[in-house]
Amino acid sequence: VKISVLVSGRGTNLQSVIDAIECGEIQNAEITCVVSDKEEAFALKRAEKHGITGIFVNPAEFSSRQEYDDKLLEILKEKETDLVLLAGYLRIISASLIDAYKNRIINIHPSLLPSFKGLNAQKQAIDYGVKFTGCTVHFVEPDLDAGPIIMQKIIPVLENDTADTLAERLLVEENKAYREVVKLFVDGKLEVDGRSVKIKK
Ligand code: GRF
């Protein structure tokens, strides 16, 4: 399974998948490229360190999201991509790209969806006063943070938590969830039935 990863920043979720592949936890998979919309993304350095092609696609060079995503699609095809991972990728993806990779684009979001969609989900959870939150790994659909849910992990919100301390504890669960889901996908264990994703035994 050939994996392409779209990133914008730090890349801890990318790192988690790289590590899982390198240690043999995920087999029959390789990351063939990491694409960033930000030149300075640390995720690109992580890719380079592990001998993975990193590509910066500059949004300033495209006049519309459609054109930008057409370029992405060209790269994904050229790399013979089977699975696309969004790992801290901050751009919205166009419907044509989603159609081209139906149920083959996966995202991770730092809340228990459908609560707290969009940016700053950890702060939204703190501000709302929920006692538990978590992360959600899901297939990507045109509506933001709304596709079929593959896996969720839950943590308590502590009384002294700030958005930052919560985000830090949540990240540990995110990193675990993402590699587990990628393994399930690569092993052909995910079955999508409408909104419901089942894990084959
Ligand atoms: C994570 O919190 C992820 O849930 C969200 O963006 C953040 C990316 O972190 N979509 P990283 O770049 O993988 O470290």
Q: How far is the CA of 87 from the centre of ligand 1 (A)?
A: 6
Provide the residue range defining the domain that includes 45: 2-199
pLDDT of residue 165: 98
Q: How far is the CA of 192 from the centre of ligand 1 (A)?
A: 24
Based on the structure, what is the number of domains in the chain?
Answer: 1
CA–CA separation, 149 and 81 (whole Å)? 22
CA–CA separation, 21 and 23 (whole Å)? 6
Q: What is the Rg, in whole angstroms, of the alpha carbon atoms belonging to the chain?
A: 16
Q: What is the mean pLDDT of residues 19-41?
A: 98
- CB neighbours of residue 63 within 10 Å: 8
**What residues are paired with 36 via a beta bridge?**
7, 56
- Select from 174, 175, 181 the residue to mutate for testing ligand 1; criterion: most ligand atoms less than 8 Å from CB: 174
CB 87 within 8 Å of CB 181: no
Which atom of ligand 1 lies at the shortest distance from residue 42's CA? 12
Q: Which tens digits make up the pLDDT trace of 91-145? A: 999 999 999 999 999 999 999 999 999 999 999 999 999 999 999 999 999 999 9
**What residues are paired with 192 via a beta bridge?**
197
Q: How confident is the model at residue 187 (pLDDT cuts 50, 70, 90)?
A: very high
- Per DSSP, 59 falls in state G
Q: How far is the CA of 65 from the centre of ligand 1 (A)?
A: 22
Q: What is the mean pLDDT of residues 49-61?
A: 98
Q: What is the SS3 assignment for 149?
A: strand
Residues lining ligand 1, judged by CB closer than 6 Å? 9-14, 87-88, 108-110, 174
CATH number, residue 46: 3.40.50.170
ipTM: 0.97
Question: Token pair 């095809």 is at which residue?
Answer: 77
Which atom of ligand 1 lies at the shortest distance from residue 109's CA? 4
Q: How confident is the model at residue 72 (pLDDT cuts 50, 70, 90)?
A: very high
User: Could you check whether the bond before residue 110 is cis, i.e. omega within 30 degrees of 0?
Assistant: no
CA–CA separation, 139 and 84 (whole Å)? 10
Q: What is the mean pLDDT of residues 25-45?
A: 98
Of all protein residues, the one whose alpha carbon is nearest to atom 2 of ligand 1 is 110
pLDDT of residue 54: 98
